[in-house]
Structure 1
């Protein structure tokens, strides 16, 4: 079998899909995207195709190494996301060619279903309590919310009070055992992150996410000292080498590599195994589309330390097009009692609605994240 064609599709609301075709008629799909940089990643996929056309798609590990090591420069969000989507598609092809789901090729599942959480907002004045109540009524056992709006290095106490009030409102709207994760989104700097992390301890959170930007290792050490709440991070780390220091220094309790950013199934499987050796949980980042979620669930199926899975069905980003619009079987992600079944179909376990993909690619998108500024006019972290 040889790779004959690699085709990309920029589709609403903010996704990029890739289809890899072979000379034996078996095709696979992947989702290589950096939110807000879809066209840049598309160009990177096109450049990498020079290394792939005519090659055997079954040699996934070798092709991964060729893409990663075959150029002098490596790493980073764009390059690793391009590799990630291609890698997902190669695994999809292999599973389809052999007639099994990808998780069977990775050693077989250790679980039949995966706990998931829903996103409810929180960074702007909105009714997070009502959203949490709706998620709870829908059967979810956990939600994630943003902690704050933009925050200065030295901010006012009322900002802290407002965060605590929103989180308490979610707790009051649900139950004592309902999981509440609070995402600092990397927008809080160390002086306020220490204060906020310490104050949130009393609310018994599921975890706090990106309390400071992950590249600020010294700041992570300081936050770690002032909180007993589990710390999650990793959506902006792109390889096992970037996670290495986090694990060695014990700076996180939950790793959140993104299957569409961190090198795909091949790389995240290795990151998960590294984390397990340090008794650290896995909770893949995934506010993206159906192919990314399907890839996540294939790794969740085989990673013993996979604890909970992010998913974006109904998230505010998805207005106009949502996950299920792009698959032929709308029951494939059948959420129930806070869990989703591990897909058992061949390959990634989903069937992409190619007709709809091609139709929507004619619309495309140029999604950009918001640009925030502080009161003094300087740019704020979003």
Structure 2
């Protein structure tokens, strides 16, 4: 069996699918989405495809090494996302060849279902919507998440801190003591302000505070973890074991690698193993579509130190538009806040290839993230 094609399909600014075809008729799929940079990653995949065409797809680790390292310049969001999508597709192919789910090839399941969490959203200026949080808890979710309202000043005024505390108290009341909520600080917060906020909300017992600092300030993270008993989670903008090692050493509680950014299943399995040595659990970042989520679920089933799986797409029923590219959407439908262990080969899902080809778009100019400014006109982190 030889690789005969490497194709990419842009389905929007937040969905770039990869298909690796073979001369044996088998194909594997992956998600290489780098949000709002899908055209850039698609170009990188095209440039990398020469390392795969005509090769046996089964030695996934060897392919990963060559894709990640043979270009001499390596790492970063774009190249790591390109490798991630290709790696997922290679694992999917390997699973289909051996007629086994990826988690079985990784050593077998250590659990029978995957705990999910999703977002409570919230109106402008609000950290989370208590009504949605309550609804999710009633649907069986034991963990929900909200993002801090922004922009956030270097040291926010007392009125803003008071609003943040009140919002978290409302979330705690909404979900009750039997569920958890997490707060995403989204890299919007300075070291001193992160410490202040952690002190202010510790009484609400959040499950974790996510990404208090920008990733370029990871070396400062220990100043936050050492100052609070609230667990700290980071990782969605870290792309390798080498980048995770300092934050693990800094005392985080939850590592959040993104399987579509951090080198795919191959590297994220290694990140999870490294995290386990630090008594850290993983909660893979996944603000993407069903292919990326399916890859996460396969990893979640195989690693002992799994905590919870993020999703933002609608998993409420098989009729969800977000699952429409799957021929059997029911595989990813949430039941009591969990996804049951998929037993199909590879990623455990099947793609409606004809529909994907119909929906594929040309590379356009992306809208990108919201553009925020402070009152003085200077740039503010989104």
Deviates more, 1:57-66 or 1:155-164: 155-164
Cα shift at 1:251: 2.7
What is the CA deviation profile of residues 250-301 of structure 1, one whole-angstrom value per residue up to 9, with x for unaligned ones?
3311100000000000000000000111111011000101111111011111
**C-alpha separation in 2, matches of 1:266 and 1:146:** 29
Q: Distance in 2 between matches of 1:197 and 1:250?
A: 16
Residue 29 of structure 1 is matched in structure 2 by 29
- Counterparts of 1:123 and 1:281, CA distance in 2: 31
Map Cα deviations across residues 147-204 of structure 1 (whole Å, 9 max, x no partner). 2311121321111111111111111122112110000000111221111111121110
Does the CA-based 8 Å contact 1:120-1:131 persist in structure 2? yes
- Measured after TM superposition, the shift of residue 122 of structure 1 is 4.0
The answer (yes or no) to whether the contact 1:51–1:66 under 8 Å persists in 2 is: yes
Superposition deviation, residue 322 in structure 1: 4.4
Q: Which runs of 5+ in 1 are unaligned?
A: 316-320
Determine the C-alpha separation between the residues in 2 that align with 1:294 and 1:108. 16
Q: Which residue of 2 is the match for residue 354 of structure 1?
A: 353
Q: Any idea what the Cα deviations from partners look like across 1:191-233, whole Å, max 9, x if unmatched?
A: 2111111112111011110011233134312111221011100
| Range with greater deviation from structure 2 (179-188 or 330-339) | 330-339
Match in the other structure for 1:335 = 334
Aligned equivalent of 1:159: 160
Aligned position for 1:202: 203
Aligned to 2:238: 237
Which segment is superposed worse, 283-292 or 215-224? 215-224
1:15-71 CA deviation, whole Å, 9 max, x = no partner?
A: 100100001000000000110111111111111001111111001100100011101
Inter-CA distance 120–13: structure 2 relative to 1 (3 Å threshold): farther
1 CA distance for matches of 2:321 and 2:63?
Answer: 31
CA deviation profile, 1:91-116 (whole Å, cap 9, x unmatched): 00010111111111111010010110
Q: Distance in 2 between matches of 1:123 and 1:363?
A: 33
Q: Residues 5 and 39 from structure 1, CA distance in 2 versus in 1: closer, same or farther, beyond 3 angstroms?
A: same
| 1:298 to 2:291 alignment | no
Q: Give the stretch that moved more between structures: 123-132 or 283-292.
A: 123-132
List aligned pairs for 1:275-314, cutoff 5 A. Answer: 275-314=275-314
Tell me the distance in 1 between the aligned counterparts of 2:283 and 2:152.
26
1:13: how far off? 5.9
Q: Is the 8 A contact 1:326 1:352 kept in 2?
A: yes
Counterpart residue number, 1:318:
none
The answer to which of 154-163 and 82-91 deviates more is 154-163
Output the aligned Cα RMSD.
Answer: 1.6
Do 1:183 and 1:208's aligned partners in 2 also have CA atoms closer than 8 Å?
yes
- Where has structure 1 moved over 3 Å in runs of 4 or more? 362-365
How far the C-alpha of 1:342 sits from its partner, in A, is 2.1
What SS is found at the alignment partner of 2:5?
A: strand
